[in-house]
Amino acid sequence: MARRDPYTKDLFAWEPEPVRVAYADEVKGRGTLDSQISRVISQALRDAKDNGVSRMEIAGKMARYLGRPISEDALNKWASEAIDDRRMPLDAFIALADATESVELIGFVAGLFNLAVVPDRFVELIEMHQLEEHKREVDARIAALQAKSRGRR
């Protein structure tokens, strides 16, 4: 077996960067909207914990962002599916996305409306694609009109 060059990247190992910012469908799961929201909040908190950020630190960041106190107990309540009185205010949801750096939370909301959140660096590419599609449609319409016009002569 030939020795592999350690400085050459494996072209078959490449995977494209995700374009859509959202949690996998398995994270939100099924059920009521309240339950889905609790699950994505819980996932954001777990991801932050995996990155070494405690719920107490997140609560502090959220409090600074909002200018009002946010307790760790409130975070626990919002992340729990078992607690009936657990509705998180929208501004707290935004503060949580900021504190945990989980833009997937915003993607969750957009996904409810069959929309996608994409990083800014993809916006121009999407617009170029739309313009190219429109140009093909216009070119096809012009070609059809030219053919029809030639047929009348």
What pLDDT score does 6 carry?
72
Closest-CA residue to 35 (of 109, 86, 74): 86
Same-domain check for residues 108 and 37: yes
- Cα separation, 52 vs 32, whole angstroms: 31
Residue 52 lies in a domain: yes
Same-domain check for residues 124 and 73: no
Residue 92 lies in a domain: yes
How many domains in the chain?
A: 2
Same-domain check for residues 78 and 132: no
Give the start-end residues of each E strand in 14-151.
none
Same-domain check for residues 108 and 144: no
Contact (CB, 8 A) for 29 and 39: yes
Residue 6 lies in a domain: no
Per-residue pLDDT of 85-109, as tens digits, reads 778 999 999 999 999 999 999 999 9
Is the full-model pTM beyond 0.85?
no
Residue 33 lies in a domain: yes
Residue 13 lies in a domain: no
Statement: residue 139 has pLDDT above 70: yes
Residue 62 lies in a domain: yes
Domain extent for 73: 20-117
Same-domain check for residues 32 and 84: yes
Per-residue pLDDT of 33-63, as tens digits, reads 888 999 999 999 999 999 999 999 999 999 9
Residue 59 lies in a domain: yes
Residue 148 lies in a domain: yes
Contact (CB, 8 A) for 93 and 45: no
3-state secondary structure 108-132: HHHHCCCCCCCCHHHHHHHHHHHHH
Same-domain check for residues 128 and 151: yes
